Amino acid sequence: MVGFEYAKKSDNASNKNNVLSDAAVINLDHGDPTVFEEYWGKMGDRCTVEIKGWDLMSYFSDANNVCWFMEPGLEDAIRGLHAAVGNAATDERYIVVGTGSTQLCQAAVHALSSIRGSHPVSVLAAAPYYSTYVEETTYLRSEMYKWEGDARSFDKEGPYIELVTSPNNPDGTIREAVVNKPDGKVIYDFAYYWPHYTPITYCPDHDIMLFTFSKISGHAGSRIGWALVKDKEVAKKMVEYIMVNSIGVGKESQMRAAKILNVLTETCRSETESFFEYGREKMKTRWEKLREVVKQSDHIFTLPKYPEAFCNFSGKLMETYPAFAWVGCKEENDLGSLLMKQKVLTRAGNRCGSDKKHVRVSMLCRDDVFSLFLHRLASLATDSLL
Ligand code: PMP
């Protein structure tokens, strides 16, 4: 897949031990969330987990739980964090843990389509959408569901599943379902509904909600995600999918995630070391710098504007500071190719169901990579390459 080829090409630029040279290719195509490393470094040993040679050997974690491979400590940590942040209802819900929310999204699509009468069930998302949904729903060539693209132009009859990402990847907008027909099911992907990215304006209680450890704290390498699921049959089907796919989820990762999520929850009560406060300042500063470069470019580039809203978590008015910048250019240019000439890899808008005038740029890289990106974006404007 294209994304992975890109990753190899630019390994040199994203390795923190390398000093970035002018020749370095920087990869802002995928959203590798290394931006928060400094914070966790300052936490010292508070998040260290020790695992003995004889620990965690069984496949099973809790045979009485629908999700029998979920460590009870992780379930408690997840419920505790949502209670502290107020960004999802967890009462009377089953929690299904997955190897990242990537696995859970596929499990949910499988579960919802397997309990429908007629197949294939249409799968859609409003453009611009998270391009990985396309790969997730086409790669295995399942006969149970079919990727149908942009939800806004969906005019078929019959069962469908709409994927709603809010705040949206790639453009950071706050989203609701757009199709709203009686034969539909909705999967809410709340990867970025956390207070460092966006104001927490309500506590969602939808039937299926996906979250990922990757984008909360930045620990993408642990590959932990979870689904909050109202319906027991759907939760059971998702668990069945994960059984067939990987017979559960690594326990070492679950233990580490539980530890870090608990520390994160503790910091919500702290005046001085709140992770979300730190993360919001970090994202805000990056967005201000990016907007300044766009302004200096005489607005050759475009960026979406986000309204301020009251955040119930922080008790303040705040803007959205998305994990990705949806950068556009005014002329009919292929912005991805122009940036590639400047040695900046981004995700082309057409992969997200939009056009080549737009690209998705990760805002979650390390500081030195981000500075180099701003510099190269500014050069693109001043060299009049557009
Ligand atoms: N959903 C969205 C909207 C995402 O942006 C991502 C990560 N890029 C994921 C899901 C997958 O996250 P994970 O690392 O948990 O598989």
Q: What is the mean pLDDT of residues 4-33?
A: 66
Amino acid at 32: D
Instruction: Tell whether ligand 1 has an atom less than 6 A from the beta carbon of residue 100.
Output: yes
State the pTM of this model. Answer: 0.94
Q: How far is the C-alpha of 43 from the C-alpha of 145, rounded, in Å?
A: 45
Counting from 1 in the atom list of ligand 1, the atom nearest the Cα of 101 is 15
- Residues 254 and 290 placed together within one structural domain of the fold: no
Counting from 1 in the atom list of ligand 1, the atom nearest the Cα of 323 is 5
Residue 161, beta-bridge partner list: 123, 185
Q: What is the mean pLDDT of residues 70-96?
A: 98
Q: How far is the CA of 97 from the centre of ligand 1 (A)?
A: 14
66 belongs to a structural domain: no
Counting from 1 in the atom list of ligand 1, the atom nearest the Cα of 130 is 3
Confidence of residue 386 (pLDDT cuts 50, 70, 90): low
- Residues 210 and 318 placed together within one structural domain of the fold: no
Domain extent for 37: 5-42+275-381
61 belongs to a structural domain: no
Whose CA is closest to atom 4 on ligand 1? Answer: 191
Is 213 within 8 Å of 205 (Cβ atoms)? no
Looking at residue 14, its pLDDT comes to 44
- Residues 184 and 79 placed together within one structural domain of the fold: yes
Judge whether residue 9 has pLDDT over 70.
Answer: no
Judge whether residue 191 has pLDDT over 90.
Answer: yes
Looking at residue 17, its pLDDT comes to 53
Specify the higher pLDDT residue, 214 or 331: 214
Task: Indicate the residue among 267, 300, 335 that finishes a domain.
Answer: 267
Whose CA is closest to atom 15 on ligand 1? Answer: 100
Instruction: Tell whether ligand 1 has an atom less than 6 A from the beta carbon of residue 214.
Output: yes
Counting from 1 in the atom list of ligand 1, the atom nearest the Cα of 214 is 14
| 44-65 confidence digits (pLDDT tens) | 999 999 999 999 999 999 999 9
| 138-169 confidence digits (pLDDT tens) | 999 999 999 999 999 999 999 999 999 999 99
121-125/145-150 β-pairing: parallel
227 belongs to a structural domain: yes
| 98-143 confidence digits (pLDDT tens) | 999 999 999 999 999 998 878 899 999 999 999 999 999 999 999 9
The SS3 assignment for 213 reads helix
Q: How far is the C-alpha of 194 from the C-alpha of 190, rounded, in Å?
A: 8
Percent of the chain with pLDDT over 90: 88
- Residues 347 and 377 placed together within one structural domain of the fold: yes
Whose CA is closest to atom 13 on ligand 1? Answer: 100
- Residues 261 and 282 placed together within one structural domain of the fold: no
The SS3 assignment for 172 reads coil
Counting from 1 in the atom list of ligand 1, the atom nearest the Cα of 213 is 15
C-alpha distances in Å from residue 345, one per residue of 14, 27, 30, 245 = 12, 5, 9, 32
Looking at residue 164, its pLDDT comes to 98
Confidence of residue 384 (pLDDT cuts 50, 70, 90): low
Q: How far is the CA of 24 from the centre of ligand 1 (A)?
A: 26
57 belongs to a structural domain: no
- Residues 201 and 177 placed together within one structural domain of the fold: yes
371 belongs to a structural domain: yes
Q: How far is the CA of 299 from the centre of ligand 1 (A)?
A: 30
Percent of the chain with pLDDT over 70: 94
56 belongs to a structural domain: no
- Residues 181 and 216 placed together within one structural domain of the fold: yes
Task: Indicate the residue among 221, 239, 267 that finishes a domain.
Answer: 267
**Looking at residue 332, which CATH number applies to its domain?**
3.90.1150.10
64 belongs to a structural domain: no
Counting from 1 in the atom list of ligand 1, the atom nearest the Cα of 30 is 8
Q: What is the mean pLDDT of residues 317-322?
A: 97
Looking at residue 22, its pLDDT comes to 82
**Looking at residue 251, which CATH number applies to its domain?**
3.40.640.10
The SS3 assignment for 161 reads strand
Looking at residue 126, its pLDDT comes to 98
Task: Indicate the residue among 233, 267, 301 that finishes a domain.
Answer: 267
Judge whether residue 2 has pLDDT over 60.
Answer: no
Provide the b/e sequence for 278-300 (b: ≥16 CB within 10 Å). bbbebbeebbeebeebbeebeeb
Overall number of domains in the chain: 2
> In terms of Cα–Cα distance, which of 328, 307, 331 is closest to 319?
307
Q: Two tokens at 152?
A: 């806004």
51 belongs to a structural domain: no
Task: Return the best residue to mutate from 130, 163, 361 for the ligand 1 pocket (most ligand atoms within 8 A of CB).
Answer: 130
Judge whether residue 1 has pLDDT over 60.
Answer: no
- Residues 305 and 254 placed together within one structural domain of the fold: no
Q: How far is the CA of 386 from the centre of ligand 1 (A)?
A: 32
- Residues 83 and 232 placed together within one structural domain of the fold: yes
Q: How far is the CA of 44 from the centre of ligand 1 (A)?
A: 27
- Residues 80 and 151 placed together within one structural domain of the fold: yes
Q: How far is the CA of 164 from the centre of ligand 1 (A)?
A: 13
Mean pLDDT across the chain, nearest whole number? 93
- Residues 38 and 76 placed together within one structural domain of the fold: no
Q: How far is the CA of 332 from the centre of ligand 1 (A)?
A: 30
Burial degree of 109 (CB within 10 A; 0-12, 13-18, 19+): buried
Whose CA is closest to atom 12 on ligand 1? Answer: 101
- Count of other CB atoms within 10 angstroms of residue 76: 13
Judge whether residue 19 has pLDDT over 80.
Answer: no
Judge whether residue 8 has pLDDT over 90.
Answer: no
Q: How far is the C-alpha of 59 from the C-alpha of 251, rounded, in Å?
A: 9
Confidence of residue 7 (pLDDT cuts 50, 70, 90): very low
Instruction: Tell whether ligand 1 has an atom less than 6 A from the beta carbon of residue 128.
Output: no
| 199-231 confidence digits (pLDDT tens) | 999 999 999 999 999 999 999 999 999 999 999
Least confident of 13-17, 220-224, 325-329, 334-338: 13-17
Q: How far is the CA of 331 from the centre of ligand 1 (A)?
A: 31
- Residues 244 and 260 placed together within one structural domain of the fold: yes
Residues 6+ apart with CB under 8 A from 51: 252, 255
For the chain, report the end-to-end CA distance as a whole number of angstroms: 29
Judge whether residue 3 has pLDDT over 50.
Answer: no
Amino acid at 235: A
Looking at residue 331, its pLDDT comes to 80
Instruction: Tell whether ligand 1 has an atom less than 6 A from the beta carbon of residue 87.
Output: no
Instruction: Tell whether ligand 1 has an atom less than 6 A from the beta carbon of residue 151.
Output: no
